[in-house]
Amino acid sequence: MLIIPAIDLKGGKSVRLYKGAFEKELFKKDPMEMALKFKKAGAKRLHIIDLDGAQQGAPVNLDIALNIKRKTDLEVEFGGGIRSLETLEKLLSTDIDYFIITTLFLREKENLKKQKKRIIVSIDIDEQGFLKTYGWQRKENIRGTELLEEAISEGFENFIITFTHKDGTLEGLDTSLIEKFTKNGVAKIVFAGGVSSLEDIEKAKRAGAYGIIIGRAFYEGTIPLEVIKGAC
């Protein structure tokens, strides 16, 4: 199973928010320093989210992500503020490997099919399993499992399932929802939100996850970086 360290960009720094709340910033780190540390630990891919972009509706910290890609030569999945086809087309011309979208997928899925190999559909859900969009500010009347089935039927295969009510809390994955997303056995499912221990990693692995994204637990040391090399 793939272990993917997270770098969330806000104001040019790598930060961690509590449940996605911009006013609840837990720490600030140098993003390049963290990227190189993750590379040294054996990471194959980095999860980079432009929090400023998610809030403003267009990427803000893309240059940092591109610089990390150049300096580390790791796979990079980038998201945050990719809400138009024009923006996505510009990003596809860069060296970044994958682009994470939610809101745009709901509006333009037919126009995204030709690029589906480089698109990761992010299914960000609340404790009831309902989808959250526009930087987690809007709750949609559709369950994450429904969106997953729809996207799979359209030929998309890469997904991130984020438990927004757990993100940045170190409370552990929402195990009541995990297997609802992996039972189809077709898609590449990556889980995020609340990962706090080696037990969370094992739970995701047993459920059939393709990968798991780890943020705060790496930054605060509740999960050792050594697990990256062992799991990749």
Report the C-alpha gap between 8 and 53 in whole angstroms.
11
Quick check: 36 and 71 in contact, CB under 8 A?
yes
β-pairing verdict for 13-18 and 21-29:
antiparallel
Q: Render the burial of 130-149: b for 16+ CB within 10 Å, e for the rest.
A: bbbbebbeeebebbbbebbe
DSSP, res 173 = -
The full set of domains in the chain, from first to last, is: 2-231 (3.20.20.70)
Q: For residue 135, name the pLDDT band (cuts at 50, 70, 90).
A: confident
Cα angle vertex 15, ends 13, 21, to 5°?
Answer: 125
For residue 34, which phi and psi values (nearest 5 degrees)?
-70, -40
Length of the chain: 232
pLDDT digits (tens, 9 = 90+) for 44-99: 999 999 999 988 989 999 999 999 999 999 999 999 999 999 999 999 999 999 99
Q: What is the pTM of this model?
A: 0.92
CA 1 centroid distance within chain: 15
pLDDT digits (tens, 9 = 90+) for 154-198: 999 999 999 988 888 888 888 888 888 988 778 999 999 989 999
Instruction: Report CA Rg, the chain.
Output: 16
Q: Which residues belong to the active site? A: 8, 124
State residue 18's pLDDT score. 63
DSSP, res 94 = S
